[in-house]
Amino acid sequence: MKRLKALCSGVAAATLAAAGLAAAATLGTGQASGAETSAAALGNNWYAAAPYLMPRDNNPPDAGAIMDATGLKAFQLAFILAPNGGGCSPTWDGTAAVSSDTAVAAVISGIRAKGGDVSVSIGGYGGTKLGQACSTSEATAAAYQQVISKYQLKAIDFDLEEPEYENTTAIAHEIGAAKILQSNNPGLYVSVTTAGTADGTGWFGKQMLNEAKAQGFTPNNFSIMPFDGGFNSAAAQTSALTNFNTILQTTFGWNAATAYAHEGFSGMNGRSDTGEYFRQADFQTVLDYATSHAMGRFTFWSLNRDRQCTPPDNGTTSGVCSSVPQTPWEFAKFSVKFAGATPPTNPPTTPPTTPPTNPPGQCTVAAWSGSAVYVNGNEVSHKGHKWKAKWWTQNEEPGTTGEWGVWLDEGAC
């Protein structure tokens, strides 16, 4: 996924300062910023829908204003890289050490103060990745753990693409680190994003999946980016998603429904780096495909671009506007729809892979299964209680999501 940094890097310092001050202002006098502001209790549906936002570059928009205008609750902050000067420690964009960061922490605190939360994305297109700079998976995981601990993260995204994904050792470090983090941070939402092709994903993407299989690592989803590769329509994108589903089935031995539940889409709003156009109607088509197949993720690059250029389309691609006619944050509304989407009446489900965990009793509804997909209104039994889903969910155990989580306790049964 190309990041278009060169177009707007000159405004990075000023816009970061403005974004940090705007976010901090929402906290109120005396309220702590950064790690001291706890993450909201969001369901995985929100982390699965979080669009990308660069908080330090490309004229960062005010996250709070986007939340107010659209109802969006989650943001995918990008990107964590190795230091430009070398070393195995996390930085923002290769230049700002996470350990001493206060500006991005203020942005995160502002989002959380309004009831939202963030995931942090590592890698991206270009730059030196920690998987390249660190000598082992364990060292790579330790660097990422600093990010998780600093910002009290409940979600993280591994964006594995050029040039890192051509380096088999680096990819082994990244996948190994992801597995360690998943184990050491129970409940951590982990997405893996990689390049998309008409075939689904290319040779390096398939090798990454094989590495994950070899290490016994399964994230919440594997997402592809079907743009910058000759995609001329939403139909080309959904075709790639269908092909990628087949690759997931073949690689991991999953059935189609399980593969879709672990599959994600990461698009690019408006004009892509290579001159493709993905307008609002294209996003709606892909969203319909994602919800009808109960896919695990729907996101896009980026909120920095989710506003109209002047003129609306000047034939170039920008890092700060979409190059298509639109109202501000129009593409963010597709993410909001996905977070609360209700797939068809009879969505594909996955048969349980483990015995039901609730004891026999008087419950008349089916037992909850961590591998099944549930949507708004679905009822399950678990540990002697009946629960109703408020929105799309998978592998969120009833009784663990809290008052504002996905499961509504309907009482003992």
Which are the catalytic amino acids? 161
| Residues sharing a CB contact under 8 Å with residue 203, sequence separation 6 or more, in sequence order | none
**C-alpha separations of 56 from 121, 140, 249 in Å:** 13, 23, 38
Q: Residue 351 — φ and ψ, nearest 5°?
A: -65, 145
Q: Extract the tokens encoding 48.
A: 């699965």
Identity of the residue numbered 267? G
| Residues sharing a CB contact under 8 Å with residue 324, sequence separation 6 or more, in sequence order | 269, 270, 271, 277, 279, 280, 308, 312, 313
| Residues sharing a CB contact under 8 Å with residue 143, sequence separation 6 or more, in sequence order | 88, 89, 90, 130, 134
Compute the CA torsion angle 105, 51, 179, 357 (nearest 10 deg). 110
CA torsion sign, 59 to 125 to 262 to 175? negative
What letter would DSSP give residue 151? H
Helix H or strand E segment including 297: strand 297-301
Q: Which residues pair with 96 in a beta bridge?
A: 92
What letter would DSSP give residue 79? E
* Residue listed under structure tokens 């998309």: 196
